[in-house]
């Protein structure tokens, strides 16, 4: 069998199209016309000898072969980008002090920090996991170089990375009986999720009570799992065993919340600047483009 060398640029276009939800958006992102993107996809199909797309309504969906090559494309691109970063950044040393909320510390950020460490082994990473107000306070005191937080868009140093849909999140079983106030499990104030939750309930004329309050995210998830109350976080990041709630549960819609990166307006050392670049590249595209619809 002849060896086929897949084109990295075509694979990147494929991944971009899937992450952004279509060839038109991908074309703008990769700097090509939509017809040029279509030609790339046809070339990839010819190389592989399999159809990668099928009609679905007015658009296209991936075939089984398309799903398979998409998974490989992500792995190839990740390795390619890591190799380039490692060679270009071999001389970077020093340390970077980075703060993040617990929501991300348990999901994709460890992989991002691992990628950064492999590319820049001479850099020492000091990662802090805490609440927004604590992270921003430490940033302003010079104890952190960068902080990723929910909200914070009103600060002059904010770089908004995404606007995420807030969501009601509950346990396996209902946490209240009909006619009772909604029991809320929330962070102690200040909390950027607490006020929008109570404001939405007030606007809908729905009574509520604080059933559980804690500064710990893990304690919050445990309280929701135990049926003590429901909470509000992003619908994108939540434990798999908890349910996203919505209108059919008698709950009102919620607004979006910003995810922003902060550097306190200071000049960043080389290591922190490189970490910032990687964060900007690797915030999942699904976060950036996912619609803020409430659960059914």
- Is the same domain home to 168 and 249? yes
pLDDT tens readout for residues 60-71: 889 999 999 999
Q: Is the pLDDT of residue 291 over 80?
A: no
Q: Is the pLDDT of residue 288 over 60?
A: no
CA–CA–CA angle 117, 273, 97 (5° rounding):
60
What is the pLDDT, as a whole number, of residue 91?
63
More confident residue, 290 or 163: 163
Give me the percent of the chain exceeding a pLDDT of 70.
Answer: 91
Beta-carbon count within 10 A of 243 CB: 18
- Is the same domain home to 116 and 101? yes
User: DSSP states of 121-162 as a string?
Assistant: TTEEEEEEE--HHHHHHHHHTTS-SEEEEES-TTSTTEEEEE
What is the pLDDT, as a whole number, of residue 90?
56
- Is the same domain home to 194 and 74? no
pLDDT tens readout for residues 142-200: 999 999 999 876 788 888 888 888 999 999 876 667 778 999 999 988 899 999 999 99
- Is the same domain home to 177 and 197? yes
What is the pLDDT, as a whole number, of residue 296?
31
pLDDT tens readout for residues 110-135: 778 887 888 788 889 898 999 999 99
pLDDT tens readout for residues 227-245: 999 999 987 778 888 999 9
Identify whether 3 is part of a domain. Answer: no
Cα→Cα distances 277→34, 268, 281, 283, 284, Å: 28, 12, 6, 10, 14
- Is the same domain home to 278 and 250? no
Q: What is the CATH number of the domain that holds 71?
A: 1.10.10.10
Structure tokens at 129: 């996991």
Q: Is the pLDDT of residue 81 over 50?
A: yes
Cα separation of 97 and 105, whole Å? 14
What is the pLDDT, as a whole number, of residue 128?
92
Overall domain count for the chain: 3
Confidence of residue 283 (pLDDT cuts 50, 70, 90): low
| Full-model pTM | 0.66
Give me the percent of the chain exceeding a pLDDT of 90.
Answer: 44
Domain with 172 in it: 164-255
Confidence of residue 20 (pLDDT cuts 50, 70, 90): confident
């Amino acid at each position: 069998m002849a060896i086929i060398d897949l084109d990295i640029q075509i694979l990147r276009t494929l991944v971009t199209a899937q992450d952004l939800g279509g060839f038109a958006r991908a074309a703008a992102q990769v700097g090509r016309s939509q017809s040029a993107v279509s030609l790339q996809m046809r070339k990839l199909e010819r190389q592989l000898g399999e159809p990668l797309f099928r009609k679905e309504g007015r658009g296209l969906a991936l075939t089984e072969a398309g799903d398979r090559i998409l998974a490989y494309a992500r792995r190839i691109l990740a390795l390619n980008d890591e190799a380039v970063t490692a060679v270009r950044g071999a001389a970077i040393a020093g340390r970077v002090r980075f703060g993040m909320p617990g929501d991300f510390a348990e999901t994709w950020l460890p992989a991002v920090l691992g990628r950064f460490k492999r590319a820049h082994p001479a850099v020492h990473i000091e990662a802090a996991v805490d609440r927004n107000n604590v992270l921003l306070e430490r940033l302003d005191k010079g104890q952190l170089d960068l902080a990723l937080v929910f909200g914070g868009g009103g600060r002059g140093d904010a770089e908004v990375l995404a606007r995420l849909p807030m969501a009601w999140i509950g346990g396996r079983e209902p946490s209240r009986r009909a006619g009772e106030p909604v029991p809320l499990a929330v962070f102690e104030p200040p909390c950027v999720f607490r006020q929008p939750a109570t404001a939405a309930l007030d606007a809908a004329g729905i009574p509520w009570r604080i059933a559980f309050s804690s500064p710990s995210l893990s304690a919050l998830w445990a309280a929701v799992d135990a049926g003590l109350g429901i909470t509000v976080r992003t619908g994108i990041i939540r434990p798999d065993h908890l349910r996203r709630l919505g209108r059919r549960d008698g709950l009102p819609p919620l607004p979006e919340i910003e995810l922003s990166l902060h550097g306190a307006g200071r000049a960043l050392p080389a290591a922190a600047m490189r970490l910032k670049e990687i964060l900007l590249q690797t915030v999942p595209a699904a976060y950036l483009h996912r619609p803020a619809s409430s659960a059914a």
